[in-house]
């Protein structure tokens, strides 16, 4: 018999999991959240909760002996990464054969490590990706609901134009303008009032101190401060940390049984527990949720899962690149880590790209304009399962499609500004495009394929997917607002139809 029973269990505490937990708790349903990462609320010996990107320690990465930062080198020198001791740090880089995937680990999932960009996709592209979803209802109800609960705000344009901290963004905007390209402000969940106070010297610096991928000590409205705080505030939600769900099965009475390993701070499994629930919500993210369902299907624990579980995965077309500016075109030694602008060429039917203007906060003038391009790469891959672990069929040739699309856009920008690419940022000596990692893993349990149109898993009643695995590989912008809004839509439907007594 399972040790612990709860009416509802949520696996993972990222966007999908946090929305599920909050709405279940508010509906009066006792809910247990199981999260494999730690709770980030206690300061380390240096007095801060998260370590800095400039001097990373064990808190930076998930059980590593050396950090694996996205920008590995600078002037070809391995100056960025550091030796660390294994610990449940906040950023993980999951390696597959041809691509690696960055994800957040901890209470709040990706919201702890991400750039906070809170972008709503163009309605036409959303409708193209989700033909089975009522787009009017999404844009009228669920996107606004998600943005409000996430605490989305925008930079004051007058402050943006004047501050040294966004000079790098203004320089890239000017280069785009010379190319005849459109730029657009993008909202963020970082509190811009706090940021202005950081600049004025009246608040402790976080975004203005280089903090981002290893966590922000101030200013960012991560999920632990929004949805998860609301969930715990209902008194109906309990949170277990450092517990990784490894298997899901179904009892004879139709309830679900979960097997979870609890680890200590060295990663040793100290206890294996079984949990039981009537309603099971999977919010482990594209990788976490897909692995659980794939394992359940392939081991025969949940044999009726749809054949499409594991399919429809993509990188959201992610590519990172840097351009080398002229000496007179300084980007500034002071750079805010929270991006606020993108080059929007998505409407260009022959080569749709949305490129966010990214910071490179080294504290020194480096003349680099950095970008994270989101390209409309049509390539998709599937996961397979063998020997207890999951493999991803994504190939280097599929990443090259993203790089070629980014090159097409940035060749134009370089031509218009007589500039070139930077080749010293991504490890080897000749790489201008980092297409071997993604920040935006999407798909694996696609909405309307592995699930019904509302995230109900096909073949298994009262089992739901609420996270990025529902998105079919691409959404054209940074994904968390879409993931949150879809989870809101799922929870509204489930609470209205499935959980009523
Ligand atoms: P996650 O947020 O990944 O949450 C999943 C959670 O489940 C994690 O906490 C994980 O530890 C836990 N988990 C997984 N498996 C298990 C298991 N078996 N048992 C227990 N717990 C489990 N998106 C944007 O929109 N804007 C940005 O600016 C942006 N910047 C980014 C920058 C970086 C460095 C990264 C890595 C990502 C960025 N993203 C951004 C992407 C965004 O963070 C993700 O799309 C989002 O977090 C995905 O939400 P999710 O709910 O699907 O899963």
Task: Ligand 1, residue 112: give the atom nearest the CA.
Answer: 43
Q: From the CB of 478, is ligand 1 less than 6 Å away? A: yes
* Contact call for residues 217 and 48 (beta carbons, < 8 A): yes
For position 156, what pLDDT does the model report? 98
For position 71, what pLDDT does the model report? 85
**Helix/strand/coil for 171:** helix
For position 501, what pLDDT does the model report? 65
* Ligand 1 center to 410 CA (angstroms): 28
* Ligand 1 center to 285 CA (angstroms): 6
CA distance linking residue 323 with residue 331, whole number of Å? 11
Q: Which residues are catalytic?
A: 356, 440
CA distance linking residue 169 with residue 173, whole number of Å? 6
Q: From the CB of 213, is ligand 1 less than 6 Å away? A: yes
Outline where 138-257 has alpha helix (H). Answer: 143-150, 157-162, 167-178, 192-200, 227-233
Going by C-alpha positions, the residue among 151, 162, 228 that lies closest to residue 190 is 151
Task: Ligand 1, residue 103: give the atom nearest the CA.
Answer: 36
Per-residue pLDDT of the chain (501 residues; tens, 9 = 90+): 556 899 999 999 999 999 999 999 999 999 999 999 999 999 999 999 999 888 899 999 999 999 999 887 787 777 789 999 999 999 999 999 999 999 999 999 999 999 999 999 999 999 999 999 999 999 999 999 999 999 999 999 999 999 999 999 999 999 999 999 999 999 999 999 999 999 999 999 999 999 999 999 999 999 999 999 999 999 999 999 999 999 999 999 999 999 999 999 999 999 999 999 999 999 999 999 999 999 999 999 999 999 999 999 999 999 999 999 999 999 999 999 999 999 999 999 999 999 999 999 988 999 999 999 999 999 999 999 999 999 999 999 999 999 999 999 999 999 999 999 999 898 877 889 999 999 999 999 999 999 999 999 999 999 999 999 999 999 999 999 999 999 999 999 999 999 976
Q: From the CB of 117, is ligand 1 less than 6 Å away? A: yes
Structure tokens at 170: 């203004």
For position 351, what pLDDT does the model report? 98
Q: β-pairing, 420-421 with 433-434?
A: unpaired
Structure tokens at 2: 């399972």
Q: From the CB of 12, is ligand 1 less than 6 Å away? A: yes
CA distance linking residue 473 with residue 433, whole number of Å? 20
Which phi and psi (to 5°) does residue 387 adopt? 60, 30
Task: Ligand 1, residue 356: give the atom nearest the CA.
Answer: 28
Q: Is 130 exposed, middle or buried (0-12, 13-18, 19+ CB in 10 A)?
A: buried
Q: From the CB of 356, is ligand 1 less than 6 Å away? A: no
For position 1, what pLDDT does the model report? 52
* Ligand 1 center to 109 CA (angstroms): 5
Q: From the CB of 467, is ligand 1 less than 6 Å away? A: yes
* Cα→Cα distances 191→155, 184, 225, Å: 9, 19, 12
CA distance linking residue 395 with residue 98, whole number of Å? 5
For position 429, what pLDDT does the model report? 72
Q: From the CB of 88, is ligand 1 less than 6 Å away? A: no
Q: From the CB of 484, is ligand 1 less than 6 Å away? A: no
Residue with CA closest to ligand 1 atom 8: 109
* Cα→Cα distances 292→86, 97, 321, 348, 460, Å: 25, 20, 34, 38, 14
Residue with CA closest to ligand 1 atom 24: 478
Q: β-pairing, 100-104 with 91-95?
A: antiparallel
Q: From the CB of 475, is ligand 1 less than 6 Å away? A: no
Task: Ligand 1, residue 37: give the atom nearest the CA.
Answer: 11
Structure tokens at 313: 């995965």
* Ligand 1 center to 331 CA (angstroms): 30
* Cα→Cα distances 440→2, 100, 373, 468, Å: 35, 11, 11, 9
**Relative orientation angle of helices 15-26 and 480-497, to the nearest 10 degrees:** 30
- The best mutation among 9, 10, 12 to test binding of ligand 1, ranked by most ligand atoms within 8 Å of the C-beta, falls on 12
Q: What's the residue count for the chain?
A: 501
Task: Ligand 1, residue 110: give the atom nearest the CA.
Answer: 47
C-alpha of 147 from chain center: 16
Is the pTM here over 0.90, yes or no? Answer: yes
CA distance linking residue 359 with residue 370, whole number of Å? 6
Q: From the CB of 109, is ligand 1 less than 6 Å away? A: yes
Task: Ligand 1, residue 481: give the atom nearest the CA.
Answer: 25
Q: Which helix (H) or strand (E) holds 86?
A: none
For position 3, what pLDDT does the model report? 66
Q: From the CB of 9, is ligand 1 less than 6 Å away? A: no
* Contact call for residues 61 and 91 (beta carbons, < 8 A): yes
CB burial readout 303-320, b (16+ within 10 A) else e: eebbebbbbbbbbbbbbb
Task: Locate the DSSP E strands across 316-458.
Answer: 318-324, 341-345, 353-358, 368-375, 383-386, 389-392, 420-421, 433-434, 437-438, 442-444
Going by C-alpha positions, the residue among 325, 242, 324 that lies closest to residue 62 is 242
* Ligand 1 center to 164 CA (angstroms): 31
Residue with CA closest to ligand 1 atom 18: 245
* Ligand 1 center to 111 CA (angstroms): 7
* Ligand 1 center to 330 CA (angstroms): 34
- The best mutation among 93, 103, 110 to test binding of ligand 1, ranked by most ligand atoms within 8 Å of the C-beta, falls on 110
Neighbouring CB atoms inside 10 A of 400's CB total 16
- The best mutation among 15, 338, 480, 488 to test binding of ligand 1, ranked by most ligand atoms within 8 Å of the C-beta, falls on 480
* Ligand 1 center to 104 CA (angstroms): 5
Q: From the CB of 443, is ligand 1 less than 6 Å away? A: no
Q: From the CB of 284, is ligand 1 less than 6 Å away? A: yes
Instruction: 426-434: list long-range contacts, CB under 8 Å, 24+ apart.
Output: 426/71, 426/72, 426/73, 426/320, 427/72, 427/73, 429/76, 432/321, 432/322, 433/319, 433/320, 433/321, 433/403, 433/406, 433/407, 434/70, 434/71, 434/319, 434/320, 434/321
Q: From the CB of 435, is ligand 1 less than 6 Å away? A: no
**Helix/strand/coil for 207:** helix
Task: Ligand 1, residue 223: give the atom nearest the CA.
Answer: 2
């Amino acid at each position: 018999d399972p040790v612990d029973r709860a009416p509802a269990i949520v696996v993972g505490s990222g966007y999908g999991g946090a929305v599920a937990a909050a709405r279940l708790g508010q509906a009066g349903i006792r809910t247990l959240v199981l999260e494999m990462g730690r709770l980030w609320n206690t300061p380390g010996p240096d007095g801060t909760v998260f370590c800095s990107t400039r001097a990373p320690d064990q808190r930076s990465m998930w059980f590593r002996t050396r950090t694996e930062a996205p920008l590995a080198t600078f002037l070809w020198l391995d100056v960025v990464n550091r030796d660390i001791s294994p610990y449940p740090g906040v950023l993980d880089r999951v390696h597959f054969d041809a691509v690696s995937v960055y994800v957040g680990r901890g209470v709040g999932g990706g919201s702890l490590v991400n750039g906070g960009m809170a972008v709503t996709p163009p309605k036409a592209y959303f409708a193209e990706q989700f033909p089975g979803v009522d787009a009017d209802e999404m844009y009228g109800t669920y996107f606004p609901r998600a943005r409000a609960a996430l605490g989305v705000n925008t930079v004051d344009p007058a402050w943006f134009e004047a501050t040294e901290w966004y000079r790098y963004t203004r320089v890239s905007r000017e280069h785009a303008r010379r190319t005849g390209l459109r730029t657009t402000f993008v909202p963020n969940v970082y509190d811009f009032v706090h940021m202005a106070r950081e600049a004025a010297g009246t608040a402790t610096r976080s975004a203005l101190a280089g903090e981002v991928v290893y966590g922000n000590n101030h200013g960012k409205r991560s999920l632990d401060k929004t949805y998860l705080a609301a969930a715990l505030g209902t008194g109906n939600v309990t949170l277990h940390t450092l517990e990784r769900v490894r298997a899901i099965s179904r009892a004879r009475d139709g309830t679900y049984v979960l097997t979870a390993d609890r680890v200590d701070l060295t990663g040793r499994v100290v206890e294996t527990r079984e949990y039981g629930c009537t309603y099971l919500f999977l919010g482990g993210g594209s990788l976490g949720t897909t692995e659980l369902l794939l394992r359940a299907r392939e081991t025969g624990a949940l044999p009726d899962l749809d054949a499409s579980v594991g399919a429809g995965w993509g990188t959201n077309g992610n590519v990172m690149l840097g351009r080398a500016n002229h000496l007179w075109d300084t980007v500034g030694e002071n750079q805010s880590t929270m991006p606020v602008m993108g080059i929007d060429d998505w409407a260009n039917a022959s080569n749709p790209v949305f490129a966010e203007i990214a910071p490179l906060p080294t504290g020194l003038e480096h003349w680099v304009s950095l970008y994270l391009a989101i390209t409309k790469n049509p390539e998709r891959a599937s996961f397979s399962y063998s020997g207890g672990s999951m493999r991803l069929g994504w190939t280097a040739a599929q990443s090259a499609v993203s790089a070629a699309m980014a090159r097409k856009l940035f060749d134009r920008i370089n031509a218009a500004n007589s500039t070139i690419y930077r080749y010293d940022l991504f490890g080897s000596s000749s790489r201008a495009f980092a297409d071997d990692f993604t920040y935006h893993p999407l798909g694996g349990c696609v909405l309307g394929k592995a699930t019904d149109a509302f995230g109900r898993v096909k073949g298994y009643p009262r089992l739901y997917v609420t996270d990025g695995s529902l998105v079919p590989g691409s959404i054209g912008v940074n994904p968390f607002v879409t993931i949150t809004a879809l989870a809101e839509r799922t929870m509204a439907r489930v609470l209205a139809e499935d959980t009523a007594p």
